[in-house]
Amino acid sequence: MSEDSNQRVAITGMGMVSACGNGIDAFEKSLLEGRSGISAIDLFPGVTPPGHIGAQCRDFNDSSIKKEYLKPQRKSIKVMCRDIQLGVASANLALEHSGLGIKEEEDPRLGVEFGADLMLSPPDVLFGAVAASRNEQGMPTDTQWGEKGLAQMEPLWLLKYLPNMPACHISIYAKACGPSNSLTLEDANGNLTLGESLRIMRRGQADTMIAGTTGARLHVIKSINLTSLKEVAEPNGQAPEEVLKPFDKNRSGEVLGEGACAFILEREDKAKERNATIFAYVLGIGSSCVRHPKTGPDPKQAMVNAIRAALRSADVTIDQIGHINAHGSGSQTMDAAEAAAILEVFGDRGREIPVTALKPFFGNCGSGSGTLEIAGSILGLRHGVVFPTLNYATPDPECPLNIVHGEPLKTDNKIFLNINVTRAGQASALLVEGA
């Protein structure tokens, strides 16, 4: 099916749940004040991740979940793990922000595109079943599982941890009967959910899409896994909010977080018909995955490919882009690879174009990060600025980029590029224009 590239796709609503606050006003206030949401955590006991710090959604607690953010889905909360709760709440906020409202009848022209990480059970959820399946030596066995272990499982256990469930819950509440899809490409999800929505709408398959992502890397199992991969920064006596340093010479890794963000995308003509506020336009999408048989993932080449594909998709030149919102995880190797990719695509301008990285505000939320970054750039442009990269102090010769730091950078160029990449060599790039 052919695409109509002349069909403008507008963003008319945004909703987020993050360590910087929930909803537009709280999130925007944190960015304007340069206030990080990274702090000591109390989601689970112990000392994981290092220093027991992270970007925790503190305002998203048992009381607020039921009374405020998930009130329409309160009967379904029992089959939602935290990742799902965050994602559905962000979509509820986005729908409210857009002014669309919930129709009485099912809408075949409204679709949902939502991304999530793989979701894991906490150890205590499986403990009873595993303990029941032990043999005489006290070791869990598969031979005892069917007879003794399975009966100890929660009957609806699987529904709590399926990555397609955010889209399911959102579709049911919004009566969205148009295209529906769930993506599980970790950090690359954010750009892709908006990009796939763009393509769906340009093909004429929907007038409106709910697009977003959710991720909770602050999880006892995920935190241990990432810490063992040497991906997580050690505080080493620093204040929690000072630990994450994207592109800085003294960076030492990422800081784990949790969060979600959703957007309402509408055909421009439909948005104008209802006098909706237009915050931005989605221009183009690019993606790539590069892995070599002998050396494994090649994130740098994947980012190069994705950026170039996004430029072609949007019919935009590198000279038209006002700033780059980088993946900027704080990893020594990944930040250097991203800098190399930017320089390869942008040439000499790669050292001049403003680059920001917003994870020091809300941590690395995995799938949830990319959409939060996009929202950050859109909100900054509403104020005529690019928000700075927190904690950037010492330039790194391996990352010779023009990192926005200190104070917000004034700008009147509304077009920006958002980049995200995974350790597996999957990259995505999205071009957006502020309204």
Residues 331 and 430 in one domain: yes
Rounded to the nearest integer, the mean pLDDT of the chain is 94
Please state whether 312 falls in left (phi above 0), alpha (psi between -120 and 50) or beta: alpha
**Is residue 4 domain-resident?**
no
Question: pLDDT-derived band of residue 82, with 50, 70 and 90 as boundaries?
Answer: very high
Residues 130 and 30 in one domain: no
- Provide the CATH number for the domain around residue 278: 3.40.47.10
Q: How many domains does the chain have?
A: 2
Mean pLDDT, residues 144-170? 91
Tokens of 323: 């700033």
Residues 148 and 246 in one domain: no
Residues 200 and 132 in one domain: no
Residue 308, helix vs strand vs coil: helix
What DSSP state is assigned to residue 278? P
Residues 196 and 295 in one domain: yes
Does residue 93 have a pLDDT over 90?
yes
pTM for this entry: 0.95
* Segment 9-59, tens digit of pLDDT: 999 999 999 999 999 999 999 999 999 999 999 988 777 788 899 999 999
User: What per-residue confidence (pLDDT) applies to 3?
Assistant: 61
User: What per-residue confidence (pLDDT) applies to 4?
Assistant: 63
Question: Cβ(213)–Cβ(114) under 8 Å?
Answer: yes
Residues 267 and 358 in one domain: yes
* Segment 161-201, tens digit of pLDDT: 999 999 999 999 999 999 999 999 999 999 999 999 999 99
Sequence-ordered list of residues with C-beta below 8 angstroms from that of 246, at least 6 positions apart, any chain: 326, 328, 329, 330, 335, 357, 359, 360, 389, 391, 392, 403
Does residue 352 have a pLDDT over 70?
yes
* Segment 165-176, tens digit of pLDDT: 999 999 999 999
Tokens of 200: 């769906």
Residues 286 and 144 in one domain: no
Residues 294 and 185 in one domain: yes
Preceding peptide of 122 cis, ω within 30°: no
**Is residue 342 domain-resident?**
yes
User: What per-residue confidence (pLDDT) applies to 125?
Assistant: 87
Residues 207 and 130 in one domain: no
Does residue 153 have a pLDDT over 90?
no
**Is residue 1 domain-resident?**
no
Question: pLDDT-derived band of residue 5, with 50, 70 and 90 as boundaries?
Answer: low
Does residue 2 have a pLDDT over 70?
no
Sequence-ordered list of residues with C-beta below 8 angstroms from that of 321, at least 6 positions apart, any chain: 353, 413, 415, 416, 417, 431
Q: What stretch of H or E contains 410?
A: strand 409-410
Residues 72 and 161 in one domain: yes
* Domain housing 72: 9-121+157-434
Question: Cβ(427)–Cβ(288) under 8 Å?
Answer: yes
Residues 96 and 143 in one domain: no
Residues 201 and 129 in one domain: no
Does residue 1 have a pLDDT over 60?
no
